Amino acid sequence: MKLSTRYCGLQLKTPLIASASPLTAELASAQRLEAAGVGAIILPSLFEEAVRADVRNLDQYVDRIKRYKDTLGIPVISSLNGITEGGWLEQAARLEQSGCDALELNIYYVAASAKESSDHIERRYIDLVYKLRAHIGIPVSVKLTYQFSSIAHLVKRLEETGIDGVVLFNRFYLPDIDLETLTINPTLHLSHSTEALMRIRWIAILRDQVNLSLAATGGFHTVDDILKALLVGADAVQLCSVLFQQGVDEVERLLAGMQEWMARKGYDSVHAMKGKMSYGNLKDPSGFERSNYLSVLEHNS
Ligand SMILES: Cc1cc2nc3c(=O)[nH]c(=O)nc-3n(C[C@H](O)[C@H](O)[C@H](O)COP(=O)(O)O)c2cc1C
């Protein structure tokens, strides 16, 4: 059974990637993730603000990449979190020099001003990604939120910048209100499988409209979640919450479950099943669109 996949120009031995989180922050847990079977790991994001506050954060990050590269056999992807132009493009160049295999750009921006149009915001994203792409030579992916009015259009424009992949979709801390103290507290709950369906739908829709790599993130907990993502055309599936909840060894169980299903369905490789249920490959893809809503309503009335 060939589980290998190509993602952002990298050859991964399995399509499961440990996404950016504290779980990949220590070499020992990165080694355990590799032993359990992940195809790549993504370091926790280096935040633009953190480097601005203390440049030693960048040095530490670079040292960590070097240590990981010396020890691990799987690709090591660094992650940058930034939105403004400036010094951090230089930081990206330092990360590239440190030997990481690819860079994931995690753009976190809350469009809170009523004066800023969606077109303006998207143009800022695109300009930034163009500049990053021109600045470094290693593969670049962009991790997006779903809060855009036309995701397909934005991803197409991102592809035109020359990047190698997009990661759909990040989850964020949400502000909650403490009713006793009347203060705002950031909260981050781990995800649930139900969140995977939105990602699966968008990957299905995008698969035949773009050529860049697509990775799923957000709600991928079970063998079924992962298989569905691959069937609609994901090149890789990133895992985070499930590893916090079930432990790193869950990767082994997920890979075994995937192989069991693939054997039962007659697929001898991930490549053979990838995209079989993308929007373009379905006789009736309307299930991914609005008619889905109508039939759900009919079934439940
Ligand atoms: C504690 C925690 C820390 C995270 N840190 C980062 C980060 O530094 N950079 C990033 O791009 N995503 C970060 N994420 C998001 C995850 O990489 C992942 O995309 C998200 O949790 C959705 O996947 P999941 O449903 O498998 O958890 C973090 C998530 C958690 C739970």
pLDDT at 244 exceeding the cut of 60 = yes
The CB density around residue 40, as the number of other CB atoms within 10 Å, is: 29
pLDDT value of position 46: 94
Q: How far is the CA of 297 from the centre of ligand 1 (A)?
A: 33
pLDDT value of position 37: 98
Please tell me the residue having the least CA distance from ligand 1 atom 5: 21
pLDDT in tens, 247-270: 999 999 999 999 999 999 999 999
pLDDT at 208 exceeding the cut of 60 = yes
Q: How far is the CA of 224 from the centre of ligand 1 (A)?
A: 21
pLDDT at 300 exceeding the cut of 90 = no
Q: If phi over 0 gives left and psi between -120 and 50 gives alpha, with beta otherwise, what is residue 83?
A: alpha
Mutating to test ligand 1, I would choose from 42, 187, 240 the residue with most ligand atoms within 8 A of its C-beta, which is 240
Q: Stretch 167-171: mean pLDDT, rounded?
A: 95
pLDDT value of position 290: 64
Cα distance between residue 298 and residue 45, in whole Å:
44
Q: How far is the CA of 132 from the centre of ligand 1 (A)?
A: 22
Q: How far is CA 92 from the centre of its chain?
A: 18
pLDDT in tens, 5-18: 999 999 999 999 99
- Residues with Cβ within 8 Å of 291's Cβ and at least 6 positions away in sequence, in order, are none
Q: How far is the CA of 203 from the centre of ligand 1 (A)?
A: 19
Q: If phi over 0 gives left and psi between -120 and 50 gives alpha, with beta otherwise, what is residue 107?
A: beta
Evaluate whether 136 touches 150 at the Cβ level (below 8 Å): no
Element spanning 106, H or E: strand 102-106
Evaluate whether 222 touches 197 at the Cβ level (below 8 Å): no
CA distances 23 to 42, 50, 221, Å, are 10, 19, 16
Mutating to test ligand 1, I would choose from 171, 173, 226, 250 the residue with most ligand atoms within 8 A of its C-beta, which is 171
Comparing CA positions, the residue from 153, 136, 56 lying closest to residue 100 is 136
pLDDT value of position 89: 82
pLDDT value of position 160: 97
Quickly tell me which residue has 């998207």 as its tokens: 122
Cα distance between residue 286 and residue 284, in whole Å:
6
Cα distance between residue 234 and residue 136, in whole Å:
25
pLDDT value of position 175: 87
pLDDT in tens, 84-113: 776 678 889 999 999 999 999 998 788 889
pLDDT in tens, 271-299: 999 999 999 898 888 888 765 666 666 76
Q: Which domains does the chain show, CATH number per domain?
A: 5-300 (3.20.20.70)
